[in-house]
Amino acid sequence: MDERLQQLAAQLDGALHFDWLHKALYATDASVYRKTPLAVAFPKTVSDIKKLIKFAADEGASLIPRTAGTSLAGQCVGDGIVVDVSKHFTQIISVDEKARTVKVQPGVVRDELNTFLEPYGLFFGPNTSTSNRCMIGGMVGNNSSGTTSIKYGVTRDKVLALKTVLSNGEEVSFSAISEATLKQKCATETLEGAIYTMLYSELSSETTRAEIQAQFPKPEIHRRNTGYAVDALLDTEVFGTTETPLNLCNLLCGSEGTLAFTTEITLQLDVLPPRERAIVAAHYHTLEACLDDVNHVMQHPLFTCEMMDDVILDCTKHNKKFEPYRFFVEGAPKALLLLELRADTAAALLPQIAALQATLNDTAQSYAAPVLTGKEIDMAMELRKAGLGLLGNMVGDQKAVACIEDTAVALPDLPSYIREFSTIMEKYDQKAVYYAHAGAGELHLRPILNLKSDEGVELFRNITTDVAQLTKKYRGSFSGEHGDGIVRAEFLEMQIGTENFELLRRIKNCFDPNNIYNPGKITDAWPMDKSLRTDYQEQEISTKLSFDDSKGILRLAEKCNGSGDCRKSEHAGGMMCPSYQATKNEKDTTRARANMLREVLTQNDRNNKFDSEALKEVFDLCIGCKACASECPSNVDMATAKSEFLYQYRKTHKASKADLLVAKSTHYNKLGS
C-alpha cells in the first residue's frame, strides 16, 4: 500500500503524508475516539479531490473530510484517508451585497468571514463556541448552531448552494430547483439524476412521508441533526403544499461528509445586529428554578439565552485567563442564564431590560440579575464560550464526557425532560455537567466518567442508551448541533424507527454505493464504546520536573480534549499558538504536541519513553512562550512539557552542534565583537 500511496502523492498538486507522525496527529478530533488513518491528504485543487476519490474507489479505501477537527462526536475519525481542506481551500470567492450572499470554500474560518463581511453591513449568523477557528465546511457538515440560533437560525437555514464532488467523481452543484427542473434532472443518466430519481420515488409515497412526520423530532425543535434531514425536504412544492422549491442542500447539511465532498458553499447572510446590547445575568439557587424560567424569558426578543451550571463556573476559578471574567457572579449560583437584548439605540434598549427584569421579578425564581454592558458582555460570553474546553481542565482520569451532551427538546418539555434526566443520573450515581443553549431547548449534559476503566466504559454506553430512550420519549433530537458521528449514530434507528432508518441507508447507498465517504457515521455505525483514545495500558513515567498538579506528565497531555483553541489565527487575538499562526500546519499546534506526547508515552516501546523523532519534530517550533498555560482552557502547558522532553531526549541523543552554538551564543558574540 505504501508504494501505491507514493504514486498517489506524486499525482497531487497538494500533499499526501502517510508517516506515523501525521497519522497519529489525525487519529483524533475533539471527541473521545481514536482511529489511525491510512494517510492524510492536503488537496490544493478539485482535481486533487477527484484523484483521491478514484484512489479510494480503486483500493477499497475511504475518505474522511476534515477542516479544523473540532468535532465532538468522532465525525473526523476514521481508518481511511483524512482529507484536510483547512490548508488550501480557504478563499472567500465573492460577495453579492444586494442579494446578501457570499460564496466561500470550506476552509474559511467563521469569525474571519464575518470580519471580512463587516464593511458590507452583513454577517453569517450561526455562532459556535469554536467560532474563532471552526470553518464553514465543518459547520455545514454538522449543521452547526451556536448561541444565536434562536434569532438567526442554524447553518441549514443559511446554505443556498453547494458545489460538490460525488462518489463517482461527478462535479455537481446543488441548489433550489423547481418541480419541472427536478423532472429534467431525473431524466439524465448520471449519478446526480439517479439521486434525484431515488429521492422523488421514495418521498412521493404518502406512507413514507407520514412515517417521517410521525417519527422524526418535533418540527418546532430547530436544532436537529438526526441522521439525514429528509423531513426538511417534505415541506416543498414537490412533496408538500407550499411554494418552497426543493433544495438538496437541506439534506447535505448535517450529513457529516458521508454523501458528497463539498468544495464551495453559498450562504445567505443577515444584516448586522443592532449595536446597542445588554445582558441580564440571572442567578439561580437551583437548576430546576433556572429551567423553569426559560419559557418565561423566551417571551422577550432575546438574541441569546445561554445557561451555565456551577461545575463550569467552578472550573473558571482555576484558569488564569478566565478567573477575572467571573466579576459579575454573585454568591454561589447553581446555574446562570445569560439573556442578551439588543436595540438600535441605548434609549430603545432600556424598556426591553426593564420588561425582562419585571418578568424575572414576577417569576421570583432568580436571586440576582445584574445587567452587563460594553466589554462586560464580551467577558461573560467568552466565559460561556470557554465552557467546553474548561471541562477538560478536570485533573485526573475522571472527565466530563461528550455522549449525551447534544440533546434538544421542545421548550415546554424542557423542565420535565431535565427532571427525568436527573433521575437517570441519580440512578448511575452521577453528577452531570449542565451547559446549555437553553432558549433552543438544547442541553449539553455531560456525565463525569473514567473511560480508562471497564466500569466507566460500561457506564458510557448505559447512560447514553437510557438518555437516547428518554429523548425519543419526548420526540426530541438526540443530536442538536454536534452531529451523530460515532457516539450517537448507532442510536439513530431507535430515534427515528426502522423504516426511516432503512430509508437513510438507501439514500447513503444511492449517493455513495462503494461507501467511500466517511464510513461508520450515520448509517452502518461503528460501536460507540470502541476505539477510544484511552485504550492503552499505562506505565510509570519518571520525570525530572514535577507534574504533580496534573498527576503526571501523561495526564498533562490527556488534559487536551482537542477543542482546538490553539488553531485560532493571528486575527483572533491572544498569543496561542504562534507556531501554528506562522505555518498553518496542524503539527505545530499545542493540540498536536499534546496528542503526540500522549501517543509516544503510551505507544513507544523504547527504554527511554521520550526517545522519539516524531515528538521532537512537533516540539521543534514551540518557542516556549507559555501562552498555552494561560489561553488554553485546559491549561495544557506544552512549554514545560517541552523542557522535560528535551532533558529526557538528550539522555539518548547528544546535543547537536547548532544547539551548542546557540547555548554558547553569548560567549561567541563577545569573541566576535
Q: What's the pLDDT tens digit per position in 541-596?
A: 999 999 999 999 999 999 998 989 999 988 888 889 999 999 999 999 999 999 99
Collapsed DSSP state (helix, strand, coil) of residue 444: strand
Amino acid 665: pLDDT: 84
Residues 347, 349, 353, 358, Cα dihedral to 10°: 70
For residue 442, list its beta bridge partners.
408, 437
The Cα–Cα gap between 51 and 668 comes to 53
- pLDDT digits over 356-403, tens only? 999 999 999 999 999 999 999 999 988 877 665 566 567 889 988 889
Amino acid 323: pLDDT: 84
- pLDDT digits over 32-56, tens only? 999 999 999 999 999 999 999 999 9
Helix/strand/coil (H/E/C) assignment for every residue in 399-436: EECCCCCCEECCHHHHHHHHHHHHHHHHHCCCCCEEEE
In 3D space, the residue among 174, 144, 180, 146 whose CA is nearest the CA of residue 161 turns out to be 174
* pLDDT of 518 over the 60 cut: yes
- pLDDT digits over 132-167, tens only? 999 999 999 999 998 888 999 999 999 999 999 999
Residues 6+ apart with CB under 8 A from 295: 411, 412, 414
Better-scored residue on pLDDT, 129 or 59: 59
Collapsed DSSP state (helix, strand, coil) of residue 523: coil
The Cα–Cα gap between 638 and 579 comes to 13
User: Rounded to the nearest 10 degrees, what angle do helices 179-186 and 191-203 cross at?
Assistant: 120
Spell out the domains of the chain, with CATH numbers in brackets: 2-84 (3.30.43.10), 92-271 (3.30.465.10), 277-388 (3.30.70.2190), 399-485 (3.30.70.2740), 548-657 (no CATH)
Amino acid 393: pLDDT: 64
* Residue pointed to by grid coordinates 478567573: 323
The Cα–Cα gap between 493 and 104 comes to 34
Residues 579, 581, 584, 589, Cα dihedral to 10°: 50
- pLDDT digits over 76-108, tens only? 999 999 999 999 999 999 999 999 999 999 999
Collapsed DSSP state (helix, strand, coil) of residue 566: helix
The Cα–Cα gap between 238 and 8 comes to 43
Terminal Cα-to-Cα distance of the chain (whole angstroms) = 56
Confidence of residue 664 (pLDDT cuts 50, 70, 90): confident
Residues 6+ apart with CB under 8 A from 605: none
* pLDDT of 639 over the 80 cut: yes
Amino acid 321: pLDDT: 77
Average pLDDT, the chain: 93
Burial 585-621 (b: 16+ CB within 10 A, else e): bbbbbbbbbbbbbbbbbbebeeeebbbbebbbebbeb
- pLDDT digits over 485-515, tens only? 999 999 999 999 999 999 999 999 999 999 9
Sign of the Cα pseudo-torsion (368, 372, 375, 381, in order): positive
- Helices marked H in 61-118: 110-117
The Cα–Cα gap between 259 and 455 comes to 36
Query: What is the reported pTM?
Result: 0.93
Amino acid 655: pLDDT: 83
In 3D space, the residue among 501, 457, 458 whose CA is nearest the CA of residue 478 turns out to be 501
The Cα–Cα gap between 33 and 533 comes to 5
Sign of the Cα pseudo-torsion (375, 376, 382, 385, in order): negative
The number of helix segments (H) and strand segments (E) in the chain equals 28, 21
CB 113 within 8 A of CB 128: no
- Residue 652: all three cell numbers together: 539518548
Better-scored residue on pLDDT, 94 or 430: 94
Give the pLDDT mean for 249-263: 97
Give the pLDDT mean for 102-129: 96
User: Rounded to the nearest 10 degrees, what angle do helices 414-427 and 454-473 cross at?
Assistant: 150
- Pairing relationship of beta strands 81-84 and 63-66 according to DSSP bridges: parallel
Amino acid 181: pLDDT: 96
Better-scored residue on pLDDT, 350 or 241: 350
636 CB-side CA count, 13 A:
30
CB 100 within 8 A of CB 270: yes
The Cα–Cα gap between 592 and 26 comes to 9
Confidence of residue 659 (pLDDT cuts 50, 70, 90): confident
| Total Cβ atoms within 10 A of residue 633 | 24
- Percent of the chain topping pLDDT 90: 79
In 3D space, the residue among 522, 470, 527, 462 whose CA is nearest the CA of residue 226 turns out to be 522
- Residue 642: all three cell numbers together: 517541552
CB 336 within 8 A of CB 287: no
